Structure 1
Amino acid sequence: MKKLITAALPLAFAAAALAPAPALAGSAEGKLQVKVLGTAVLADGKIVEVKNDPLGLTTGAQTDANNNVVPTLAVEYFLTPNISAETICCFTQHHVSGRGALAPATNIVDHVLILPATLTLKYHMPLGGGIKPYVGAGPSVFFYIDEKPGSSIVPLGVTKVKMSNGVGFALQAGVDIPINDKGMGISLDAKKYFSDTTARFYAGNTEVLATKHTMDPWVLSAGLAYRF
């Protein structure tokens, strides 16, 4: 049996190479669409609730997270010609600074990586020339990775910061514009996320501050799409 399988493998590979592959051929009506995008993450991070502040550190204080630009990969499956499900993959890195009474603290949380796992259901509206505007919505989970106390708070004795993962949702709108009839196109996309996280700051094993933040960024993308 082993010899039979070994002998059959070259024939199988040859047949696969010679056989037509219509499923992988580009098509404006294909089931799958892959997008390679440049994405601007316009972050938010303001305090909406103080959960633990024994030293009164947050009186008159507010925070802000910096914006970032990252590459993004989106994969979309068309359930019908006008309805699809889409997920994205990207990491975005941010740091949190102070505003208001915390304005001198320019680096509160450093180097936090965020993975915004998202699944949206989209409705496409076909127009003339193959142009398809769309709207969508769906759940998201923000995973926070490798967050560190920033240089502004380490001298105060803070040794660790932890941001909780947050479940939320996203609203989406955009347009796909065909370049040719072989599945290539340009994609413009905008998402508005709604999610919360709780940031907990520790000195050793003692929690010295806990604040709840809205994480409601705009995520704006543009790039190339290939449908097959």
Structure 2
Amino acid sequence: MLKKSLLQHSIFLIALGWAVIPTAQAGNWQLKVGGSLLAPTENNGTVAGAQADVSHEFNLTPSVEYFFGDSPFSAELLLAVAPFQHDIRLNGVESATFKHLPPTVTAKYHLKNSTRFTPYVGVGLTVAVPWDEKLTGSNSKLEADVTYGAAGQLGFNFQPADAQNWGVFLDVRYAQVESDVKLDGKDIGTLEVNPLVYTLGYSYRF
């Protein structure tokens, strides 16, 4: 029930972002659409007494950003157009799959200068909402908990000389994602994804 509620909430946030941007004050809102590679760290924890390894995955990730007037501060909400789907290997053997949504909010500081190259840094919170967990070749019930963690962000936006509102951006996020895993209701370990998320895309400011 909690996972379904969080999924519906994420879909609502996507719709709200698309609805509110066209009517917002000019210059305060920015829509970003990019492709993201979610790369879990090397050590993904121990599950059922075995070393876990979570696959790298690619997805399209829109985000909505609000700028606070002429200040260098903004807030950004990262979403995904579809769930990330990962494979889990235990001691090198394909053992399970799961899906998740990664809504992440960061408060950002933009290092303004006289060029069209604007670096930024951010800190915030991520929520990992896993569901559709499946154990390969088994009907046992596999379940991963919804998890909350810290997030960091580092990147830049570049606006070409002939561009008025649009630009290109590149950034990397770190998200603390560690979920307790249960098999038929019994704890079997902790999946430590803790990914780096690399994103490249276009930005358009309204």
Q: Which shows bigger deviation, 176-185 or 118-127?
A: 176-185
The C-alpha deviation readout for 1:111-170, integer Å capped at 9, x for no partner, is x1111111100000012322110000001111002111123xx2xxx5110000001011
- Please give the alpha-carbon distance, in whole angstroms, between the structure 2 residues aligned to 1:163 and 1:109: 11
Q: TM-score, normalised by structure 1?
A: 0.73
Match among 48, 53, 56 for residue 64 of structure 1: 53
| 1:31 equivalent in structure 2 | 28
- Please give the alpha-carbon distance, in whole angstroms, between the structure 1 residues aligned to 2:74 and 2:181: 35
Mapping of 1:1-228 within 5 angstroms? 30-44=27-41, 46-47=44-45, 58=49, 61-81=50-70, 82-90=72-80, 91-99=83-91, 103=92, 105-106=93-94, 108-110=95-97, 112-151=98-137, 154=138, 159-179=140-160, 180-202=162-184, 207=186, 210-228=188-206
What's the Cα RMSD here?
2.2
For the Cα contact (< 8 Å) 2:54–2:193, is it kept in 1? no
Q: TM-score, normalised by structure 2?
A: 0.80
**Aligned amino acid, residue 114 of structure 2:** G
- Please give the alpha-carbon distance, in whole angstroms, between the structure 2 residues aligned to 1:210 and 1:128: 54
**Aligned amino acid, residue 199 of structure 2:** S
The C-alpha deviation readout for 1:95-115, integer Å capped at 9, x for no partner, is 10122xxx3x22x222x1111
| Percentage identity across paired residues of the two chains | 27
When Rg is computed on C-alpha atoms for both structures, the one with the higher figure is 1
- Please give the alpha-carbon distance, in whole angstroms, between the structure 1 residues aligned to 2:100 and 2:163: 37
Which secondary structure does the structure 1 equivalent of 2:115 belong to? helix
- Please give the alpha-carbon distance, in whole angstroms, between the structure 1 residues aligned to 2:142 and 2:22: 47
- Count of aligned pairs between the two proteins: 180
**Aligned amino acid, residue 183 of structure 1:** N
